[in-house]
Chains A and B, each alone.
Chain A
Amino acid sequence: MDTNIDFVSSRPAGSGALKHSQTTDADTSATEAHDTDTPATETPKTPGSTNSLGADFGALFADSGKLDSGPTGVEDEAAPSETASVVQLGGVPLDLTHFNTDTWASWLSSAVDYLKGISTSPEWVALITKLVVFEEVLGFSNTVSLVQSYNVFRFLTEYISMGGLNASTGQMLCIRG
């Protein structure tokens, strides 16, 4: 996910991802990712060939921020992934289905489809047409405003999270390109 990559690249020095690139021992780095105070005696989980294989992989993937994470990295990156999402979107998921964007237009569309199939008589067609006009003037057939509202909301939360707007005072601090 892009959010993970962005987060990893912006993680502060000393965090798990960066430590992976600073060692040639995969097992050691995995342990360090969890806790830098872990005693050295606990680092080699299994002695012998496993350890040497780990060292080889560690050498191969030393410059990679993702491949060397391994199973232990899954747990390590689970929380950052959520954090990255929050940082990027201010807690608002990108998934548009989070909001009721499918409410009015979809019900009216399906309803009209059903009603149009009832009869082809001119007076019935005129009635359905008038119903659609009625819903339109009331705003029930339109999702554009809702989507636009969502986009504005998303922009603002993202903008605040980037430090562009002081959420407590409402003061604009800067605009980043």
Chain B
Amino acid sequence: MPPKIVKVPEYGQSWWMWWKTLQPEWRGMGEGKLSRQVLEGEKWSQTCRGGANGFLMIVLTLAWWIVAAEQNSEQCTADADLHLAMEDVKWVLDRMVMLINSEGILATGMKRSLDNTAALGDVAVKKR
């Protein structure tokens, strides 16, 4: 069961703050849309994490946002933010898939190393 989100716009703002902390610095942390001028050699180290505790967490929180937005349709001013979020998440997924395919990262090796990483939330807090 998804958590009951009462204040959908606030949830959306919090989500965007979290999402931005997971992005490379060059994407920009301020207001407005995040940059899409990918720097050469970008590894997407904060988000390129598979498994149940990996990128799925981001998508799951988006799902909660969708459910909350549908249940609180009077607060639909947040819908634009939600659509932007979905679009940006998919864009990052695209970039990461391209990166993995282009560099030919061995799935098993990557999986093994990522198995030992913390969940995304922990990583965000420990960001250097």
Q: Which residues of A contact B (CB under 8 A)?
A: 104, 107, 111, 114-115, 118-119, 123-124, 126-128, 130-131, 133-135, 137-140, 142, 145
A142 surroundings in chain B (CB, below 8 A): 107
**What total of A-B pairs shows CB separation below 8 Å?**
73
Does residue B76 face the partner (Cβ distance < 8 Å to A)? no
Judged by a CB distance under 8 angstroms, whether B17 is at the interface is no
Residues in B neighbouring A119, C-beta threshold 8 A: 63, 66, 70
- Secondary structure type dominating chain B contacts: helix
Q: Which residues in B have some Cβ–Cβ distance to A below 8 Å?
A: 48, 50-52, 54-56, 59-60, 62-63, 66-67, 70, 83, 86-87, 89-90, 93-94, 96-97, 100-101, 105, 107-108, 110-111, 114
Beyond A124-B86, A127-B62, A139-B108, list 4 extra A-B contacts (CB 8 Å): A119-B66, A123-B90, A128-B59, A135-B56
Q: In the complex, how many angstroms separate the beta carbon of B13 from the nearest chain A beta carbon? A: 20
Docked complex Cα distance between A11 and B56 (Å): 54
Do A118 and B51 have beta carbons less than 8 Å apart? no
Q: How far is the CA of A10 from the CA of B58 in the complex (A)?
A: 58
Sample of 22 A–B contacts (CB below 8 Å): A111-B56, A114-B63, A115-B60, A118-B63, A123-B83, A123-B90, A124-B66, A127-B59, A127-B62, A127-B89, A130-B90, A130-B93, A133-B93, A134-B96, A134-B97, A135-B55, A135-B56, A138-B50, A138-B107, A138-B114, A140-B50, A140-B54
> How near does chain A come to B75, taking the closest CB pair, in angstroms?
17
Q: Which residues of B contact A138 (CB under 8 A)?
A: 48, 50, 100, 105, 107, 110-111, 114
Find A139's partner among B50, B52, B56, B62 (CB 8 Å cutoff): B50
Cβ-defined contact, A137 with B101, below 8 A: yes
B residues near A123, Cβ cutoff 8 Å: 83, 86-87, 90
Query: How far is it, in angstroms, between the C-alpha of A132 and the C-alpha of B56 when the chains are bound?
Result: 10
B108 touches A145 (CB 8 A): yes
**Given the complex, which residues of B lie within 8 Å of A140, measured CB to CB?**
50-51, 54, 111
A119–B70 CA distance with the chains assembled, in angstroms: 10
CB contact between A115 and one of B52, B63, B105 (< 8 Å): that residue: B63
Question: Which of A118, A134, A135, A145 is in CB contact (< 8 Å) with B66?
Answer: A118
**Is the beta-carbon distance between A111 and B108 smaller than 8 angstroms?**
no
A137 touches B107 (CB 8 A): yes
